[in-house]
């Protein structure tokens, strides 16, 4: 009897529509979308993320699913959770590459990296990624409003990267690594428009060239001095042999002419 009651209870719980197994808070897709937008506009991004995730998971084929995917990325961005935001934006682009929102998505990916850019004396990986995405936007969607917005950010990224190269070049210069320093300063002149550091870069290039020329002249002087010392040593060695030969001749001993200078020291 007890087994029969248990089976009946299990079947009742498994029946479609049973409130015991159904999420009592489940809402229609339209209502979840409205909730997510309302939370987003209020600045409650945690609740917005929860609503958009439910909408995306529960109603993946709903007409509101695309909205949920995009606003979920926006909510992560607003929370400054840039890693998750980048993933969400890139996921959106992979699913909807022809969507009208793609210029906005690329711009937002750039902004995720832009918000993480460091000072010029720090690692510039984020700045480089931001610049890459902004430039891609201007190439692929030049007429978009987002491309126009990206131009100012491109300038800031280029200035940051140029100042980074200036900082690194100055470090090498102080360490008297003039060749490495010159490479950095020339990169500024070649890779970036004039963002306020070209004059410094040009001055540093001129100084590097002067020091490199001086080093090369000193190296040539040392080389010539070493050659002269070897020549003088060879002459001394030859004179010594000549004296020895002369002594030997007096004694009736014939010594063949030397074919080389003094033996090299090991």
pLDDT in tens, 79-92: 999 999 999 999 99
Label residue 220 exposed, middle or buried (CB < 10 Å: 0-12, 13-18, 19+): exposed
CA separation for the pair 7, 62 (Å, rounded): 37
DSSP-derived secondary structure letter, 144: S
Name the residue with higher pLDDT: 253 or 141. Answer: 141
Q: What's the predicted TM-score (pTM) here?
A: 0.72
Output the average pLDDT for the chain. 85
Question: Residue range 174-201: average pLDDT?
Answer: 94
* Helix-helix angle 82-95:65-78, to 10 degrees: 160
Contacts of 71 (CB under 8 A, 6+ apart): 36, 37, 40, 48, 52
CA separation for the pair 113, 87 (Å, rounded): 12
Token pair, residue 32, equals 């979840």
Residue 230's pLDDT is: 72
Domain residue ranges in the chain: 28-79
Which among 194, 196, 171 has a CA at the least distance from the CA of 183?
A: 171
Name the residue with higher pLDDT: 122 or 222. Answer: 122
Residue 149's pLDDT is: 97
CA separation for the pair 167, 159 (Å, rounded): 12
CA separation for the pair 68, 48 (Å, rounded): 10
CA separation for the pair 86, 246 (Å, rounded): 90
Q: pLDDT-based confidence at 10, cuts 50/70/90?
A: very low
Residue 227's pLDDT is: 67
At 82-134, the pLDDT tens digits run: 999 999 999 999 999 999 999 999 999 999 999 999 999 999 999 999 999 99
């Amino acid at each position: 009897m007890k087994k029969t009651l248990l089976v009946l209870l299990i079947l009742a719980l498994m029946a479609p529509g049973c409130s015991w197994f159904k999420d009592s808070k489940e809402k229609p897709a339209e209502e979840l979308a409205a909730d997510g937008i309302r939370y987003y506009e209020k600045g409650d991004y945690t609740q917005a993320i929860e609503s958009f995730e439910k909408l995306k998971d529960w109603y993946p084929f709903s007409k509101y699913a695309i909205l949920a995917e995009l606003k979920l990325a926006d909510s992560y961005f607003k929370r400054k959770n840039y890693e998750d935001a980048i993933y969400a934006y890139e996921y959106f682009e992979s699913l909807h590459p022809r969507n009208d929102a793609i210029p906005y998505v690329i711009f937002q990916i750039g902004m995720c990296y832009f918000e993480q850019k460091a000072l010029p004396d720090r690692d510039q990986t984020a700045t480089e990624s931001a610049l890459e995405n902004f430039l891609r936007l201007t190439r692929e969607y030049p007429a978009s409003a987002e491309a126009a917005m990206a131009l100012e950010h491109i300038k800031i990224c280029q200035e940051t990267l140029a100042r980074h190269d200036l900082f690194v070049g100055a470090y090498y210069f102080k360490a008297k690594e003039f060749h490495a320093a010159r490479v950095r300063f020339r990169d500024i002149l070649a890779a970036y428009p004039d963002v306020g550091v070209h004059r410094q870069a040009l001055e540093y290039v001129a100084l590097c060239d002067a020091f490199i020329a001086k080093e090369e002249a000193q190296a040539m002087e040392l080389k010539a001095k070493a050659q002269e010392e070897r020549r003088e040593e060879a002459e001394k060695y030859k004179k010594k042999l000549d004296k020895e030969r002369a002594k030997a001749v007096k004694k009736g001993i014939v010594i063949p002419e030397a074919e080389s200078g003094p033996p090299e020291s090991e």
